[in-house]
Structure 1
């Protein structure tokens, strides 16, 4: 073999080796980037989980505002349930809700008409319990202030329509719009006869704030996974993926036979 041919083969081998090394270096850099990105994602997720876990269910940090004052007609253990419907109904629906909770709004919009129909027919009693977990998770006071305003509406005998107005006009989860008491009072104007001086004073003075905080503590101690929690005669139906408004109606009507 001529010296020229040997030199040409050496050059080709060297070029091939250099190309392979370039590919290996590129692969090493790519793997390093992937691993680094994965670590960042894991740490980021851990940080998010840590924040949520650390804040879950916390109040806004304010101290309890005076004595616990339950709204008019509150029932159940420690007077923490706002009842709707007849006491003699054969079925009881227990609902834990947060006025800032998007899933609660979705439940209400889907089931509201059926629940109203059944309560008005005397077949169902609903016990509403109010929680403030979004205040703890996202920051702010809108859950508590909206719950206090709903309790003020209960004092005026207007809980159900005002409850519905709050969910219909729920701001985005990250928007603490319900912390604005004037906003809550403006929404009361959508309910006939609710926007009175007594209601306004109740909202602005936080008359039921301590009751709301006590209700939220009961939620925390109840072992529930989140809001909404919906129990039909003690059975969690919100976790039943086959549940529909029609199925709920059938269950209640069957129990009423």
Structure 2
């Protein structure tokens, strides 16, 4: 390998590491703000709880989710929160937690896409994608949610991987919530042969899988995962600061022996 190629790979790893550290810091700040807001809200809650009880005719939990949890066809894993790519008979499983607004996820996809496709197509590994809304939580907006729903709609059409790759190839700047627009997501779907149909368009516009994406992010939080992308091979979280595409391929092949 030439010195130029080595430098390029080191630079890519450095960018990925920097983006993940930025996300961790943003998530920590968000959690601190949430805790502070919760303390303030307790005071207001104590003042109004009697009024709520007096005027409520039932004991419902007050679920504020956007609707029933509808997993896309073929979803796998615990509570059907993963979208599988590759063969069920693969000896290894790569679990990837990702966010379509996440720059580090784009960097990972750019550098590892070829080997990920190779591992899935050869039957050496099945990849299970978990779509979360970390950037929406850190920066505001709904682009992570809307893109996650659209990708789930593409899974319904049997075209998840192609659309998944298109979303990363066209990812806007992290602070540009362009994916909040369904029209943008449908426009990009036009890059995938046969994806744009009335069924797909309705699925995107109706937010059919919104609650499923939200439930996936809740699982992300419950498991105390702090950054995207997080990549797990057969239950072991990989260190993306030292990983390379060649090392990933080697580890998967060794695990399959």
Q: Fold conserved (TM > 0.5)?
A: yes
Distance 1:214 1:156 in 2: 21
In structure 2, runs of 5+ residues without a counterpart are 1-24, 36-62
Conserved 8 A contact 2:30-2:137: no
SS of the aligned residue for 2:241 comes to: coil
Partner of 1:37: none
Distance 2:27 2:116 in 1: 36
Q: Kindly state the Cα deviation for residue 242 of structure 1 after the two structures are TM-superposed.
A: 2.4
Partner of 2:135: 134
Conserved 8 A contact 2:149-2:209: yes
Task: Indicate how the Cα distance of structure 1 residues 48 and 149 shifts in structure 2: closer, same or farther if over 3 A, else same.
Answer: closer
In structure 1, runs of 5+ residues without a counterpart are 1-45, 57-61
Task: Indicate how the Cα distance of structure 1 residues 163 and 53 shifts in structure 2: closer, same or farther if over 3 A, else same.
Answer: farther
Distance 1:55 1:137 in 2: 11
Q: Kindly state the Cα deviation for residue 49 of structure 1 after the two structures are TM-superposed.
A: 6.3
SS of the aligned residue for 2:96 comes to: strand
SS of the aligned residue for 2:128 comes to: strand
Partner of 2:219: 218
Partner of 1:36: none
Conserved 8 A contact 2:26-2:138: no
Partner of 1:32: none
Mapped pair 1:54 → 2:33: yes
Partner of 2:159: 158
Partner of 2:107: 106
Partner of 1:26: none
Aligned counterparts, 1:115-126, within 5 A: 115-126=116-127
Q: Kindly state the Cα deviation for residue 234 of structure 1 after the two structures are TM-superposed.
A: 1.1
Partner of 1:64: 65
Point out the structure with max Rg over C-alpha: 1
SS of the aligned residue for 1:127 comes to: strand
Mapped pair 1:82 → 2:86: no
Distance 1:146 1:93 in 2: 22
SS of the aligned residue for 2:165 comes to: helix
Q: Kindly state the Cα deviation for residue 256 of structure 1 after the two structures are TM-superposed.
A: 2.9
Deviations along 1:174-217, whole A, 9 cap, x unmatched? 00000000000000000011011100000000000010110010
Distance 2:202 2:241 in 1: 42
Q: Kindly state the Cα deviation for residue 51 of structure 1 after the two structures are TM-superposed.
A: 4.7
Mapped pair 1:249 → 2:249: yes
SS of the aligned residue for 2:231 comes to: strand
Task: Indicate how the Cα distance of structure 1 residues 48 and 84 shifts in structure 2: closer, same or farther if over 3 A, else same.
Answer: closer
> TM-score w.r.t. structure 1 length?
0.76
- Aligned residue-pair number: 206
Partner of 1:171: 172
Deviations along 1:223-257, whole A, 9 cap, x unmatched? 112111100111111x2532100111111222333
Distance 2:94 2:142 in 1: 27
SS of the aligned residue for 1:182 comes to: helix
Conserved 8 A contact 2:105-2:229: yes
> TM-score w.r.t. structure 2 length?
0.76
